Structure 1
Amino acid sequence: MVEAFLDHPPVGFSPLRFGAPARPTPAFLMSFGLLTSLDSSKKRLLRSLPLLRNLENLLRMPALFVGTTVSEYALYPPSLDPIPWIEALLEASKQRGSRLIILKDLPSDSPLLSEEENRFAADLLSRCVERGFFPLWGQALAYVKVDFDSMESYLQRQSAARRKNLRRKLKASASIEVEALPTGDERLCDPAFVETLFTLYMDVYRQSEIHFDQLTLPFFRAILQSGEANGVVFLYRQEGKLIGFNLCFVQGGNLIDKYIGFLYPEARAANLYFVSWFHNLEYAIRHRLKFYVAGWTDPEVKRFLGASFTFTRHAVYLHNPLLRALLKRVGRLFEADSNQLRAQRGPSALEADSEERGR
């Protein structure tokens, strides 16, 4: 996945590697809109004001992101020495004219990682802060611990009203046929079929509120045709018509949900989002997987479906000292997912999630 990202980057991304040649770190450059992760309510307010409507276009700057958009967590070499690595990052940013650095998706007490991995990430973040980086809460990564043996057991954990709602939506699944193709399957080598799947992905992309990384057809072709990726493509048909797909990967004993594509309005009418969620859980049960990792988007919907959340941290550095000082004052406005979940569940939502994972 990472190699496919570097070889076929999203639209507007310039991939690169920095650090020691023997152990390079993947990264990318892009023109980044500073309001991208602003709370949705505040973003809508800005867009409603005539004088500020074009503010998003003005507040863009060249940014260096450390990591990729295809990995759940930050990528850095094993046995990393943080201090020289951070200095190499700052130097790489200066050389490439970047005004902003974002070390993205550092895990924060993630139940999906080992204690050692979490401890190292916390130490790296601490070292970045010492060097002048500002820590921000990142997105909410949804997951379900597969410690149940049937979908009925899973549903029994939900409230009575929620169970009734979900069962009603799942009635649509009786008319939907599901086919699983492993990545590398000869049918995924058909250019026309790959283009069909990519078109469905783009339909979902255009419906999304946040447009950060627009993946490309060559990227999809590379990962769908890789026999070594350990991926599976679930194809959803209704009356013989393809109305959606879901690309997942099995890694480290977990089912990782990566990309979906829907045909509208058919997929929406069939409640395909909910149907695919429960199909993935059934797949995880059947293959005795530990976690279903459900991705970053739509946290409020996934919370309704019974997901838990683990947050990442970003380490942000602005070369301009005045902007660095401003970020310290207003940075919390850019923690959209954590702000949203706090609003829904109370100010201690993040702390409660951490306590829940510790039990």
Structure 2
Amino acid sequence: MTLTTVVETSITAFDSAEWDRCFPADPENWAFYHACEQAGPPGFTWYYATVRDNGRPIAVVPAFGTEYRIDTTMQGIGKRITNRLYQLLPALISLRLIALGSPIAEICHLGFAPEVAAHDRPALLKRIIAALHEFGAAKRYGLLGIKDAPSRDDGLWRSALLPSGFTRLPGLPTAVLDLPYADFEAYLASLSKATRKDMRRKLKAFSEIRVEQRREIDDVVGQVSALYEQTVAHSELQFERLPPDFFPQLLRSLAPEASIFLYWHGEELVAFNFVIETADRLIDKYIGMNYAVVPQFSLYFNSWLHNVRYCIERDIPLYQSGQAFYGPKLRLGCRLQPNWQYFRHRNAALNTILQFVAKFVRLDRFDPAIANLVKDAA
């Protein structure tokens, strides 16, 4: 066995089959990352850390570099204060960050070739962390991080990072809905009486909306982009900002698994929902809405109910509904899967300051659902 560890600067350094064998059946595959590299949000540099055995990748993790605002997770009056501070002294708020994970994926994808035994994986991950540290120093990144390490890999990440001085914080959980129901009515029956009554009322408001499923949107890409921008403007938590050509590029690259639901009121496009579909799950990736008519048609909840019905009718057992807006999702039957953030700054003094700041910007301070999840996972 001859092992080499390297941080690549393009996913084209990997054969697609070699990458995908490290992530069997994962819908966010080589084609997904390739499309994101080609048309993804500005402000990010894409990297891919790998351990190769005689040239063949046996462990891989996507990564990225960016200017990171340490107040990204803050909300309310605190965010208004830091926005003002950023205008006056941006160097106090923004740091050069290199992180394992991706700004356009909900979890940090850590993949191993099938032949890699479980007991060999911690050592391979430590090699990747060391390579990231060395590569980040050469590129003058001060802050090292891991974005949204999923709970299923928690033991691996903790053993590799905590002894090296990384700080662990809660990330945005992934909301999933199990769908063991024979039909849509059975799902509604699983909800509380008050919620069920509320959803039936919202469904009546949806009678004027026509839903169209598409796998290309070249004729409406401007309208889709405008709806996305409205949604970004209404969100307090936004790490990335996707360019207009991102959605059509992703549709082309992930065909036929990717599609987009368009919601029409007459001739007006009032909402869209970008999804990735596999035999075992529907991933709700992106949504955009015209907020002038959101209350009239209950667009968010009705897009949710449409997706649930879609899954049940096609025997898709799991609906993955994304990050944020956790209160309503729990009310609608979701469970939350924890994700974790890790960070360490090269400068010891600055790292100490960041550890102090982290106590005030950590996500569980702003969202009761995350606070309860962290308490249960502790």
Q: Aligned match of 1:158 in 173, 191, 205?
A: 191
Q: Which runs of 5+ in 2 are unaligned?
A: 1-31
1:70 and 1:230, CA in 2 relative to 1: closer, same or farther beyond 3 A? same
Q: Distance in 2 between the 1:218 and 1:156 partners?
A: 41
Superposition TM-score, scaled by structure 1 size: 0.83
Which residue matches 2:174? 141
Query: Does residue 284 of structure 1 match 2:319?
Result: no
Code of the aligned partner of 2:246: F
Q: Distance in 1 between the 2:130 and 2:45 partners?
A: 21
Which residue matches 1:115? none
Q: Which runs of 5+ in 1 are unaligned?
A: 109-117
Identity of aligned residues (%): 26
Q: Distance in 2 between the 1:51 and 1:288 partners?
A: 51
Contact 1:5-1:68 at 8 Å conserved across structures: no
Superposition TM-score, scaled by structure 2 size: 0.79
What's the CA shift string for 1:45-95, capped at 9, x where partnerless?
A: 7359x8798567731111112121232321234145122111101111111
1:224 and 1:344, CA in 2 relative to 1: closer, same or farther beyond 3 A? closer
Which residue matches 1:211? 238
Q: Distance in 2 between the 1:84 and 1:177 partners?
A: 52
What is the CA-CA distance between 1:32 and the residue it aligns to? 0.6
Contact 2:86-2:92 at 8 Å conserved across structures: no
Q: Aligned match of 1:309 in 316, 320, 336?
A: 336
Query: Does residue 32 of structure 1 match 2:32?
Result: no
Which residue matches 1:15? 46
Q: Aligned match of 1:232 in 247, 250, 259?
A: 259
Code of the aligned partner of 1:89: L
Aligned-residue Cα RMSD (Å) equals 2.7
Q: Distance in 2 between the 1:333 and 1:167 partners?
A: 40
Task: Compare relative contact order (CA 8 Å, sep 6+) and give the higher one, 1 or 2.
Answer: 1
- After superposition, where does 1:1-359 map in structure 2 within 5 Å? 1-20=32-51, 22-23=56-57, 25-38=61-74, 40-41=75-76, 43-44=78-79, 46=81, 54=88, 58-78=92-112, 79=116, 80=121, 81-108=124-151, 118=152, 120-181=153-214, 183=215, 185=216, 188=217, 190=218, 192-226=219-253, 228=255, 230-251=257-278, 253-336=280-363, 338-341=364-367, 343=368, 348-352=372-376
What is the CA-CA distance between 1:284 and the residue it aligns to? 0.9
Q: Distance in 2 between the 1:176 and 1:230 partners?
A: 24
Q: Distance in 2 between the 1:340 and 1:303 partners?
A: 16
1:344 and 1:228, CA in 2 relative to 1: closer, same or farther beyond 3 A? closer
What's the CA shift string for 1:89-122, capped at 9, x where partnerless?
A: 11111111111111111111xxxxxxxxx2x442
What is the CA-CA distance between 1:167 and the residue it aligns to? 1.9
Code of the aligned partner of 2:61: T
Q: Distance in 1 between the 2:345 and 2:283 partners?
A: 33
Code of the aligned partner of 2:222: E
